[in-house]
Every structure is written in C-alpha cells, then in structure tokens.
Amino acid sequence: MGKQYNKLEKRKRRKNALKRKAERAKQSAAAAKASKPKAAKKPATKKTAAKKTAAKKTAAKKAPAKKTAAKKAAAKKAPKTTEE
C-alpha cells in the first residue's frame, strides 16, 4: 500500500509543480510584453492583396488537377474492360 500512496503523492507534487511553472511563464511573458516598446504599424494592404491573388491562383490550379486525375483513372480502367 505504501508504494501506491507514494505514486499518488508524486502525481500531486508533479501537478502542482507544473501549475507553478505555468504561472511563472505567464508572469514573465506579461512582463516582457509590458516592457517591450511598441513599434509603429505599417499598412499591410499590398501584402494582403498579393496573398489574396496568390490564393486565388492556387485555388484555380488545384481544381483542374483533381479533374485530370479522375480522367486518368477512368482512362486506365477503360482499356482493361475492352481487352476480352
């Protein structure tokens, strides 16, 4: 019974240690964020517009690729059925 109780104690200690570690991390992150000087924000309109157009192009390319794969699969099946 002693060994089982030791396991429980060990789990409790580990759980509490992790909780303390998380609290310390939160405090240090908050302190770092508060001491960090704020940089001036630059307008990102050009970047977002470029990303949107790139996304549209990739989406347009992906759709036909799926169709051609389906056609290739159909083409592979067709010769097998005609060979009798």
CA distance 31 to 20: 17
> How many other β-carbons are positioned within 10 Å of the β-carbon of residue 73?
10
In the chain, how many domains are there? 1
Read off the pLDDT of residues 11-52 as tens digits, 9 standing for 90 and up: 999 999 999 999 999 999 988 888 876 665 665 555 666 676
Is residue 12 situated within a structural domain? yes
Question: What is the span of the domain harbouring residue 4?
Answer: 1-34
CA distance 4 to 2: 5
Read off the pLDDT of residues 8-17 as tens digits, 9 standing for 90 and up: 999 999 999 9
CA distance 35 to 39: 12
Is residue 72 situated within a structural domain? no
Is residue 23 situated within a structural domain? yes
CA distance 17 to 19: 5
CA distance 71 to 65: 10
CA distance 49 to 31: 35
